[in-house]
Amino acid sequence: MSIQVKNINKSFGDFVALDNVSLDFPTGELVALLGPSGCGKTTLLRIIAGLETSDSGQVLLDGDDASARHVRERQVGFVFQHYALFRHMTVFDNVAFGLRVKNKKERLSEPEIAKKVHELLNLVQLDWLHDRFPAQLSGGQRQRIALARALAVEPKVLLLDEPFGALDAKVRKELRRWLRKLHDELHITSIFVTHDQEEALEVADRVVLMNKGKVEQIGSPDEVYEKPATPFVYGFLGNVNLFHGRVDGDGIQVGEHNLQHSTSTNLASGTPVVAFARPHELDIVDYSTRHDGVAAKIDRILSFGVNSRIELSAIEGTNNDGLPQHFEVELSKAEVVNRNLSEGLTVRIVPSQLKV
């Protein structure tokens, strides 16, 4: 089922939670709603589900206005962060619940229900736990059971609100991969809310970035990471180095230096700009033999695995707040050793990729 959200506005008292949000989710897509806490992700999900009403705007399901449709008529399955399994019921009964409460006309016989529940438990690879109670499961297992329960009623849309939020990092990672695989098998239009960049970029077909009730950008994980549309997006999606300067021909003038960038802009020379590069898009070169790049002092070198993170402060130039500019560069540990980089050393930072 496709979902269209048109010009949705929602306020709680004076507080604007959603500000004219319009989005299009094609059938079968797995979409992440990503943004900081309080940006309106959950509110949007609840409006799509019919658990909350908007002040204005429309939700269309397969092209039809869903406003008048009750939650149960929207064919939507939910999974929330705090697994809402019934504690007094076994895994089997939790998954069977939705099938047993269906209206009388559609109700399945007990053997039919049992067959379906075992199919679903096999799908989430937990059939062997069918007679356990939720308290006897791990967090990750509970989430998979919650998903099996949501799938039992054959939803046309799956809405997942921070489905793995309460779990530890390792289990989260496993479940992310598992969700992606499951989605590839079932192709149910799915929207999941997360405030975790890595989770959104790793799992989703498309990412919707939200900030303060507005949509900042929609795109594939690659698009939003490599071509962030707004300063908010590039700041939110991982570490970023900012270069405050002015347009100068094909490059930008930062302090005394002209840095080349890889974006085509129509900006006139002299226009103030903030260019940016990810830590792996910066290189560190020798201070005395090179004369390009931004002069900086190495403050700290942190090594983990095969990589090193190098924190530096610019010797000349400041950011817009008048503070010394800080940079973060990612190099392999071997490069750090080969170039004799050490804390306190003065070097030059040269971007290999710089975007405006």
Of the candidates 355, 322, 348, the residue with the CA atom closest to the CA atom of residue 237: 355
Segment contacting ligand ATP (CB under 6 A): 9-17, 103-111, 196-204, 324-332? 9-17
Segment contacting ligand ATP (CB under 6 A): 40-48, 88-96, 248-256, 348-356? 40-48
**Cβ proximity of 355 and 262 under 8 Å:** yes
Q: At its nearest, how many Å lie between ligand ATP and the CB of residue 298? A: 36
Counting beta carbons within 10 angstroms of the beta carbon of residue 322, is it exposed (0 to 12), middle (13 to 18) or buried (19 or more)?
Answer: exposed
Question: Which residue among 31, 34, 42, 325 contacts ligand ATP (CB under 6 A)?
Answer: 42
Cα separation of the two ends of the chain: 38
Question: Which residues have CB under 8 Å from 348's CB, separation 6+?
Answer: 284, 285, 286, 287, 290, 292, 293, 294, 295, 296
The SS3 of residue 284 is strand
Determine if 53 is a binding residue for ligand ATP (CB under 6 A): no
Question: Which residues have CB under 8 Å from 17's CB, separation 6+?
Answer: 10, 11, 40, 43, 213
> Total residues at the site for ligand ATP (CB under 6 A)?
12
Cross-strand bridge partners of residue 208: 33, 218
Question: Which residue among 40, 77, 245, 351 contacts ligand ATP (CB under 6 A)?
Answer: 40
**Cβ proximity of 157 and 189 under 8 Å:** yes
Q: Kindly tell me which of 29 and 162 has the beta carbon lying closer to ligand ATP.
A: 162
In three-state form (DSSP H/G/I as H, E/B as E, the rest C), the secondary structure along 318-341 is ECCCCCEEEEEEEEEHHHHHHCCC
Q: Kindly tell me which of 15 and 304 has the beta carbon lying closer to ligand ATP.
A: 15
Q: At its nearest, how many Å lie between ligand ATP and the CB of residue 35? A: 6
Determine if 241 is a binding residue for ligand ATP (CB under 6 A): no
Question: Which residue among 5, 17, 160, 356 contacts ligand ATP (CB under 6 A)?
Answer: 17
The SS3 of residue 117 is helix
Segment contacting ligand ATP (CB under 6 A): 31-39, 126-134, 221-229, 237-245? 31-39
Q: Kindly tell me which of 8 and 124 has the beta carbon lying closer to ligand ATP.
A: 8
Determine if 12 is a binding residue for ligand ATP (CB under 6 A): yes
Q: At its nearest, how many Å lie between ligand ATP and the CB of residue 336? A: 37
Determine if 43 is a binding residue for ligand ATP (CB under 6 A): yes
Q: Kindly tell me which of 71 and 334 has the beta carbon lying closer to ligand ATP.
A: 71
Q: Kindly tell me which of 12 and 304 has the beta carbon lying closer to ligand ATP.
A: 12
Q: At its nearest, how many Å lie between ligand ATP and the CB of residue 38? A: 4
φ, ψ dihedrals at 74, nearest 5°? -90, -5
Give, in order, the Cα–Cα distances in Å from 275 to each of 193, 246, 247, 270. 30, 9, 10, 14
Question: Which residue among 28, 38, 57, 251 contacts ligand ATP (CB under 6 A)?
Answer: 38
CA angle 115, 159, 236 (to 5 degrees): 140
Question: Which residues have CB under 8 Å from 223's CB, separation 6+?
Answer: none
Determine if 37 is a binding residue for ligand ATP (CB under 6 A): yes
Q: At its nearest, how many Å lie between ligand ATP and the CB of residue 41? A: 4
Question: Which residues have CB under 8 Å from 79's CB, separation 6+?
Answer: 143, 146, 147, 150, 158, 159, 160, 161, 163
Determine if 197 is a binding residue for ligand ATP (CB under 6 A): no
Q: Kindly tell me which of 43 and 241 has the beta carbon lying closer to ligand ATP.
A: 43
Please name the helix (run of DSSP H) or strand (run of DSSP E) that holds residue 267, with its range, or none: none
Q: Kindly tell me which of 13 and 305 has the beta carbon lying closer to ligand ATP.
A: 13
Question: Which residue among 5, 31, 39, 158 contacts ligand ATP (CB under 6 A)?
Answer: 39
Give the interface with ligand ATP as residue ranges (CB under 6 A).
Answer: 12, 15, 17, 35, 37-43, 195
